[in-house]
Structure 1
Amino acid sequence: MQRLIVSDHTWQSLLRLKGSAGDVAGQDRDDPAWQVYSAIARPSPASFVVAQVGQSLDGRVATISGDACDVSGPDGILHLHRLRALVDAVIVGVGTVVADDPRLTVREVEGPCPVRVIIDPRGRLPGEASLLNDGGPQALVIRDRSACRETGGHIIHLEARDGRLSPSDILGALAARGLHTVLVEGGADTIGAFLSSGQVDRLHVAVSPIVIGSGPAGLVLPTITRLDEALRAPCRIYDLGSDILFDLECRKSGTG
Structure 2
Amino acid sequence: MNRRETPVDPLAALYEPIHRHCGAPFVIAQLGQSLDGRIATPTGKSRDINGCSGMDHLHRLRAIVDVVVVGVGTVLADDPQLTTRRVPGRSPARAVIDRAGRSSRDSKWLQADGCDRIVFSENAEGWPNAVERISTEHDPDIFEPARLIAALAARGHRTVLVEGGASTVSRFIDAGMVDRLHICLSPIILGSGQAGLNLRPIDELGDALRPTARPYLLDDGNILYDCDLRSAAEGGRDAGLG
Distance (Å, rounded) in 2 between the aligned partners of 1:129 and 1:149: 16
CA deviation profile, 1:194-226 (whole Å, cap 9, x unmatched): 111111111000001011111111112112222
Aligned mate of 1:104, from 76, 79, 82: 82
Match of 2:99 in 1: 121
Q: Is the 8 A contact 2:34 2:187 kept in 1?
A: yes
Q: How large is the Cα RMSD of the aligned pairs?
A: 2.1
Percent identity, aligned pairs only, is: 47
Match of 1:253 in 2: 232
TM-superposed CA distance for 1:45, in Å, is 2.4
* Matched AA of 2:123: C
Distance (Å, rounded) in 2 between the aligned partners of 1:252 and 1:71: 29
Taking structure 1 as the reference length, what is the TM-score of the superposition? 0.81
User: Structure 1: where are the runs of 5+ without partners?
Assistant: 1-8, 11-27
Matched, 1:199 2:174: no
Aligned mate of 1:179, from 125, 146, 157: 157
* Matched AA of 2:224: L
Match of 1:5 in 2: none
Distance (Å, rounded) in 2 between the aligned partners of 1:53 and 1:202: 11
Distance verdict in 2 for CA 1:214–1:160, change over 3 Å: farther
Aligned mate of 2:59, from 75, 81, 84: 81
Distance verdict in 2 for CA 1:125–1:160, change over 3 Å: farther
TM-superposed CA distance for 1:228, in Å, is 1.3
TM-superposed CA distance for 1:113, in Å, is 0.3
- How many corresponding residue pairs? 224
Matched, 1:244 2:223: yes
TM-superposed CA distance for 1:32, in Å, is 4.7
Q: Is the 8 A contact 1:53 1:205 kept in 2?
A: yes
Q: Is the 8 A contact 2:33 2:39 kept in 1?
A: yes
What aligned pairs does 1:225-240 form with structure 2 within 5 A after superposition? 225-240=203-218
